[in-house]
């Protein structure tokens, strides 16, 4: 296992289009997180899964955003009707189920909405 994998690494889309990102966590990790990072800022929490259950969603996650983790393995983050303000780095992280363990991050998907 080579770590957390995200696909694609880069995405350029026109405003109004839908985009979907994928995250493959480390295989034995049952916690999966999505964060968003804009230029010059630290990441901000979007949502969190324990296995297939989505346990927490940030208020940043508007109705245009949806995340799934159908079999408790990989996760997808979809943004519908993209806006220029959605341009950011979308980071995925995973960790084992125990509290207070390290989080392992993917390389991120950089989204540019034009």
Partner 1 sequence: KNEVEQSPQNLTAQEGEFITINCSYSVGISALHWLQQHPGGGIVSLFMLSSGKKKHGRLIATINIQEKHSSLHITASHPRDSAVYICAVRSGTSGSRLTFGEGTQLTVNP
**Does position 107 bind partner 1 by CB under 8 A?**
yes
Q: Which stretch binds partner 1 (CB under 8 A): 21-29, 43-51, 64-72, 77-85?
A: 43-51
Query: Segment 83-102, which members bind partner 1 (CB under 8 A)?
Result: 89, 91, 93, 95, 99-102
The 8-class DSSP code of residue 106 comes to -
Least Å distance between CB 108 and partner 1? 4
- Residue 42, phi then psi, degrees to nearest 5: -80, 160
Cis check: omega of the bond before 95, within 30 degrees of 0: no
Least Å distance between CB 64 and partner 1? 21
Most distant CA atoms of the chain, gap in Å: 41
Residue 29 or 113: the one with the smaller Cβ distance to partner 1 is 29
Distance in angstroms (rounded) separating the CA atoms of residues 109 and 86: 12
């Amino acid at each position: 296992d080579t770590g957390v994998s995200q696909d694609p690494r880069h995405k350029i889309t026109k405003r109004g289009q839908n985009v979907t990102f994928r995250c493959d966590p480390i295989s034995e990790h049952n916690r999966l997180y999505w964060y968003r990072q804009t230029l010059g800022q630290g990441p901000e929490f979007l949502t969190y899964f324990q296995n297939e259950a989505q346990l927490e969603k940030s208020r940043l996650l508007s109705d245009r955003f949806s995340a799934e983790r159908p079999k408790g393995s990989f996760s997808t983050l979809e943004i519908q009707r993209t806006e220029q303000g959605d341009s950011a780095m979308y980071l995925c992280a995973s960790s084992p189920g125990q509290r207070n363990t390290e989080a392992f991050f993917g390389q991120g998907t950089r989204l540019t909405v034009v």
